[in-house]
A and B are shown apart, each in its own frame.
Chain A
Amino acid sequence: MALINVKTKEVQIKIVYYGPGRGGKTTNLEYINKKYRDQIKTEMVSLKTQDDRTLFFDFLPFDVGQIKGFDITIQLYTVPGQVKYNATRRLVLRGVDGIVFVADVQKEQRRKNIESLNQLYENLETYSIDLFKMPIVMQYNKTDLKNSGIEILPTQVLQKDLNSVLRAPAFEASALSGGNVIPTLKKIISLTLSSIQDQLF
């Protein structure tokens, strides 16, 4: 839940990038960190394994200005995508305010996307959070791979697999080159802010 501090007039919002392993969650944060370097006061924190896979989480905080006299800080987290790290994934979800689900568009990843989304639903349930009431944005990442001749899933298939019930805003993206990384971020920030707006008054 967003932390609203009436004394310091600060709001801290937690947005988690969730999705299957090697889907591009960390790459999203790295691009944001590079793009907005001047506005980000601190270093990005990455807890990773020796072979550069996320072990616990990546963390990137940045300020987005004021709303109704409150300074808004967005804290971006990623979860580790590898199947074996579900216990740590669940820990990172604690207190989440908004989710970006980063799906991998490669045809061979179809099942992993669905499994990851199902597990997200279950993990949120452990905190009594209903995925269907949570601000969420879908990102279909790695669309650039089709230029390299790799078979990718059409967006309609991904929408049907992952978003037919949720009906969340969805973006085709290429996180490595930054394609649609910022629109995804802006969308989840605006959805999350409107979901907590009632709490500000």
Chain B
Amino acid sequence: MFNQTQLDAIDTAILTNLIESGLEYVIFMDMAGNTIAKHNNGKTHLDSTAFAALAAGNFAAVDAMAKLVGESEFSLLFHKGEKSSIHFSKVNEDTLLISMFNKDISLGLVRLKVAETVKEINHILADK
């Protein structure tokens, strides 16, 4: 369970690193499909509950496929759409960070910003 200080710090990390960089929607969630924190740019609407359940299923399925081919994990999981794309990133054994972004922002920048945020969240979670 996360405490109030951790949740506040996670919110700040997502908002400053990701939403302010132009990402549309970010969900920090556990592998069971429960949303821990979610933020958007104020313009994007989404059924985030169903989305988190599907994202957890999708990530778990890909992770299981990785194991079947002898990989410990596939480090890049990314779905590209015409207008919106989704980037998945494992934060630790129990949590995931899902980022949605449009074509105004490059995948490279998203990966960079997500990597920074993942590092920051792990740091926050280590400080109990």
Contacts and interface: CB of A to CB of B under 8 A. Distances in A.
A199 B3 CA distance: 13
Interface residues of B, number: 24
Contact of B32 (A4, A14, A73): A14
Contacts of A1: 32
A87 interface: yes
A59 interface: yes
Given A45-B53, A59-B50, A94-B60, A6 B30 contact: no
B20 interface: no
Interface string A99-129: 0000000000000000000000000000000
B36 A5 contact: yes
B60 A91 contact: yes
Nearest to A199: B1
Contacts of B36: 3, 5
Nearest to B34: A3
A91 B47 contact: no
Interface of B: 1-4, 7-8, 11, 30-36, 47, 49-50, 53-54, 56-57, 60-61, 64
Interface of A: 1, 3-7, 12, 14, 42-43, 45, 47, 56-57, 59, 61, 73, 75, 77, 87-88, 91-92, 94-96, 199
Given A5-B36, A61-B53, 19 more contacts: A1-B32, A3-B36, A6-B1, A6-B3, A6-B4, A6-B7, A7-B8, A12-B35, A14-B32, A14-B34, A43-B47, A45-B53, A56-B61, A59-B50, A61-B49, A75-B34, A94-B56, A95-B32, A199-B1
